[in-house]
Copies of this chain bind each other. A is one copy, B any other.
């Protein structure tokens, strides 16, 4: 088997990330932490298959809207037989479409409000040259209820996300901020000047305000307004009024919200004649949510009247989350309230609210910046050394005992001199090494690889307990 062979040297597949063990270990810490917080609020886990029927995937309503079709991966058996009459299957590109399908399909077996979290990989067939991930983890929570969903869930989402993001290993020093808004506010403002069907189109353009160069944004805004303005409104007036609104402070902290809302109301009454009931409802809901987030630090969550999300299916509260120092990164975590997500699949009225962490992109950002606490190549807490084959039975027994105490324990794989075994522990980031005491069979000493001190077993075990508690 030792002759040189012709080998097929595999390359990474663009857009499908994979990590070395030491990075994967931190990824597991992230996933565990997120799961723990989700569960601490009583959300249950579900997993849906990687695939859905293409019909389901293409039904309107998913994250990404019309553009998503381009990104769908279909799957097919390599050797499909002619007689097969199966529905076409596609990999899911988000967890919202599968959730809607799941709730409709299992409606009679679920307990509402249905609070679920879902942490799976999703796939998007981005153009290969885009440099984006084509496979990535999303971590979502949603609550869905029948007919009516109490508004305090709109406040629970940002509270959970704040708790998660500020305590992820490596994220503690990052300055982040959640932005919150209610789509009804702008929709209400526009209800007088645009026909209802066109309002969402204007919101899609407004969503690009931070992403486009100012002139290009103005051009697109003018174009969409010109197309849809109802009389007697004039393009020039409306554009000016909107630009005046844009002067409004983004990022309104809770203490200022009432004052800012009164200002907005005054401008709205003056410029946009009589803003609809929807406008006032949106403001009330926004205030309610902000009040229910009063326990968070003052800058954790801010209101922003112009953050609208580009997706049509949001109907009220919307969320985005930014790095304060790096707004260009876009949103770490986004979501909102929807009126009736599963309406394509079931004749029930099922309003919901949800939020989604773009996990892999965020994780990879911190990885690339060297901010992840990557220090262990394996989960092993203790290496039990093996001096020679004769010592194996005693060493194996010690390893077993230590496992029963709840530690992760590796027995060195062959008899070798201690130096070599310490080097192995060093390379793998194993923090403690058990060494047999010379000329005292069955007696062990414990080397702490950080302090380099070697102590009697009992003291070593105390240090191990401290290490575990940390």
A377 and B78 CA atoms in complex are apart in Å by 39
Find chain B residues with CB under 8 A from A5 CB: 343-344, 347
* Contact across chains for B44 and A413 when beta carbons are under 8 A apart: no
CB of A230 closer than 8 Å to a CB of B? no
Option from B13, B39, B42, B48 in Cβ contact (under 8 Å) with A89: B13
Q: How many copies does the complex hold?
A: 2
Q: Give, as a whole number of angstroms, the nearest-CB distance from A89 to chain B.
A: 7
Taken residue by residue from 133 to 169, chain A's Cβ proximity to chain B (1 for < 8 Å, 0 otherwise) reads as: 0010000000001000010110000000000000000
CB of A104 closer than 8 Å to a CB of B? yes
Option from B4, B59, B74, B349 in Cβ contact (under 8 Å) with A75: B74
* Contact across chains for B69 and A1 when beta carbons are under 8 A apart: no
A418 and B409 CA atoms in complex are apart in Å by 49
Option from B9, B343, B414 in Cβ contact (under 8 Å) with A1: B343
A91 and B75 CA atoms in complex are apart in Å by 9
A151 and B47 CA atoms in complex are apart in Å by 39
* Contact across chains for A84 and B128 when beta carbons are under 8 A apart: yes
CB of A73 closer than 8 Å to a CB of B? yes
CB of A174 closer than 8 Å to a CB of B? no
CB of A428 closer than 8 Å to a CB of B? yes
Find chain B residues with CB under 8 A from A217 CB: none
- A39-90 contacts to B, CB under 8 A, are 39-56, 59, 69-79, 81, 84, 86-87, 89-90
A145 and B414 CA atoms in complex are apart in Å by 12
Find chain B residues with CB under 8 A from A50 CB: 16, 50, 121, 123, 135
* Contact across chains for B344 and A7 when beta carbons are under 8 A apart: yes
* Contact across chains for B18 and A410 when beta carbons are under 8 A apart: no
* Contact across chains for A8 and B77 when beta carbons are under 8 A apart: no
Option from B25, B47, B145, B428 in Cβ contact (under 8 Å) with A45: B25
Q: Give, as a whole number of angstroms, the nearest-CB distance from A393 to chain B.
A: 9
Find chain B residues with CB under 8 A from A59 CB: 8
CB of A442 closer than 8 Å to a CB of B? no
Q: Contacts A21-B46, A414-B150 given: A345-B7 contact, CB under 8 Å?
A: yes
Option from B24, B72, B135 in Cβ contact (under 8 Å) with A46: B24
Find chain B residues with CB under 8 A from A345 CB: 7-10
* Contact across chains for A86 and B52 when beta carbons are under 8 A apart: no
Q: Give, as a whole number of angstroms, the nearest-CB distance from A30 to chain B.
A: 13
The 7 closest A-B pairs by CB, nearest first: A42-B410, A77-B125, A16-B49, A42-B380, A21-B44, A72-B78, A39-B379
